[in-house]
């Protein structure tokens, strides 16, 4: 969180909130943009009004994930590449099937560095770029504002030495913390009533809600190893334009999910990891658009790197999927799977179909 001072003049104070409204209008996705994407991805399935609303609310965060991915790629170019659930579901899956929802962005750094501090230095420069491009600062008094849409170090989530955890605070309608609570939490300051009232007017006029929220888009940068990648020319949803993205190879990502999730021997910790197994299984729908030869090749390499053979992976997969079939319904009902559930209805049939596809790919 960054607290910025204003120059305290009466003229500036008069223009403060109208300028903030202009920034809001150009930065936060309109409901019309979100609804167009909602209609596109739900056109082939049947959803109730409450389910459509759930999807709409989720799409607001998806918009920011893709916006952040675009900005990171345009700024860092070949220094960064993307993978993980967001790429699989919002870049690949949208072309062939309905996505599962995921709200984190995974990336990896393509330059050799000694420690996280080196990458954090690059993030400081990136923040200057973001501040110039978006310059979204939440007014909290006549002389201070809270900077949003810049990258913050996420110390709460930063557990691992080779993974840099970061977050991107954005203004939303439906998820996160109410803006006045966010201000209190991050600055320990209480908004004066006049400021609170003016901000509510701004949010109501631009976003259609009085108590807008601040949410974090969380993302990670893995510092090693360097994964095989391709450059894809992608037309992003939400009218975010075309961008050439550095993406970890699809077949490598799917092989990783098979070896380290679906086909991993979790032993007594299987129950704790079954939800991740379900996510990986659903992502395996992308096998239908992947090279089976490359996929099997990567499975062999990754299995060998942890002292396993494909026969071991197949055995572990069978045990894990039997357990997933037994208790998977409790995960299946979550809102992350609302689109997949509407299309496929029966989790057991879907899991068995994907298992057959995997078995055929490993022969």
Contact 299, 255 (CB under 8 A): yes
Contact 164, 221 (CB under 8 A): yes
CA dist., res. 305 & res. 297, Å (int):
13
pLDDT in tens, 278-316: 999 999 999 999 999 999 999 999 999 999 999 999 999
Half-sphere exposure of 266 (CA within 13 A, CB side): 21
Burial 322-347 (b: 16+ CB within 10 A, else e): eebeeebeebbeeebbbbbbbebeeb
Rounded to the nearest 10 degrees, what angle do helices 292-305 and 250-257 cross at? 50
* Sheet strands side by side (includes 2-5): 2-5, 144-148, 136-139
Give the SS3 label for residue 140: coil
Task: Give the number of other Cβ atoms within 10 Å of residue 33's Cβ.
Answer: 17
pLDDT in tens, 219-254: 999 998 789 999 999 999 999 999 999 999 999 999
Residue 13 in this model has a pLDDT that exceeds 80: no
Residue 4 in this model has a pLDDT that exceeds 60: no
For 36, the token pair is 């167009």
Residue spans of alpha helices (H) in the chain: 10-27, 31-42, 49-76, 84-87, 93-96, 116-133, 179-187, 193-207, 250-257, 270-283, 292-305, 310-327, 329-332, 338-344, 347-362
The mean pLDDT of 5-14, rounded to a whole number, is 52
pLDDT in tens, 21-48: 999 999 999 999 999 999 999 998 999 9
CA dist., res. 230 & res. 251, Å (int):
11
pLDDT in tens, 192-216: 999 999 999 999 999 999 999 999 9
pLDDT bucket at 15, cuts 50 / 70 / 90: confident
pLDDT bucket at 348, cuts 50 / 70 / 90: very high
The mean pLDDT of 149-178, rounded to a whole number, is 94
Q: Which residue has the higher pLDDT, 266 or 44?
A: 266
Name the pTM for this structure.
Answer: 0.93
Whether a cis peptide bond, with omega within 30° of 0, leads into 225 is yes
pLDDT bucket at 11, cuts 50 / 70 / 90: low
pLDDT in tens, 324-337: 999 999 999 999 99
How far from 318 is each of 101, 313, 337, CA to CA, in Å?
26, 9, 23
pLDDT in tens, 111-160: 988 889 999 999 999 999 999 999 899 999 878 899 999 999 998 888 88
Q: What is the pLDDT of residue 184?
A: 96
Rounded to the nearest 10 degrees, what angle do helices 292-305 and 310-327 cross at? 100
pLDDT bucket at 6, cuts 50 / 70 / 90: very low
pLDDT in tens, 52-99: 999 999 999 999 999 999 999 999 999 999 999 999 999 999 889 999
Q: What is the pLDDT of residue 153?
A: 95
Q: For residue 233, which of 217, 246, 219 has the smallest C-alpha distance?
A: 246
* CA-based radius of gyration for the chain: 22
């Amino acid at each position: 969180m960054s607290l910025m001072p204003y120059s305290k003049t009466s003229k500036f104070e008069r223009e403060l909130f109208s300028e903030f409204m202009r920034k809001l209008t150009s930065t936060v996705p309109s409901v019309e943009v979100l609804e167009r994407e909602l209609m596109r991805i739900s056109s082939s399935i049947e959803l109730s009004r409450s389910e459509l609303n759930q999807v709409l609310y989720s799409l607001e965060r998806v918009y920011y994930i893709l916006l952040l991915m675009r900005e990171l790629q345009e700024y860092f170019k070949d220094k960064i590449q993307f993978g993980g659930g967001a790429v699989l579901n919002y870049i690949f899956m949208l072309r062939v099937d309905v996505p599962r929802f995921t709200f984190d962005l995974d990336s990896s750094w393509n330059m050799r560095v000694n420690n996280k501090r080196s990458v954090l230095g690059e993030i400081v420069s990136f923040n200057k770029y973001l501040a110039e491009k978006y310059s979204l600062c939440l007014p909290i008094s006549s002389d201070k504002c809270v900077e949003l849409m810049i990258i913050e170090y996420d110390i709460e989530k930063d557990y691992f030495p080779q993974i840099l955890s970061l977050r991107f605070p954005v203004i939303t309608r439906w998820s996160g913390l109410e803006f006045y609570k966010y201000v209190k939490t991050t600055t320990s300051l209480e908004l004066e009533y006049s400021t609170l009232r003016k901000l509510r007017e701004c949010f109501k006029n631009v976003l259609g809600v009085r108590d807008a929220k601040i949410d974090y888009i969380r993302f990670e940068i893995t510092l090693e190893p360097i994964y095989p990648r391709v450059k894809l020319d992608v037309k992003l949803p939400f009218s975010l334009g075309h961008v050439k993205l550095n993406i970890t190879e699809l077949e490598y990502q799917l092989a990783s999910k098979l070896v380290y999730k679906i086909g991993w021997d979790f032993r007594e910790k299987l129950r704790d990891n079954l939800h991740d197994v379900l996510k990986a299984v659903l992502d395996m729908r992308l096998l239908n658009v992947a090279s089976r030869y490359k996929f099997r090749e990567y499975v062999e390499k990754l299995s060998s790197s942890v002292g396993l053979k494909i026969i071991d992976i197949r055995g572990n997969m069978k045990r894990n999927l039997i357990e997933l079939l037994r208790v998977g319904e409790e995960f299946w009902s979550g809102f992350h799977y609302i689109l997949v559930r509407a299309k496929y209805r029966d989790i057991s049939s879907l899991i068995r179909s994907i298992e057959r596809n995997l078995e055929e790919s490993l022969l």
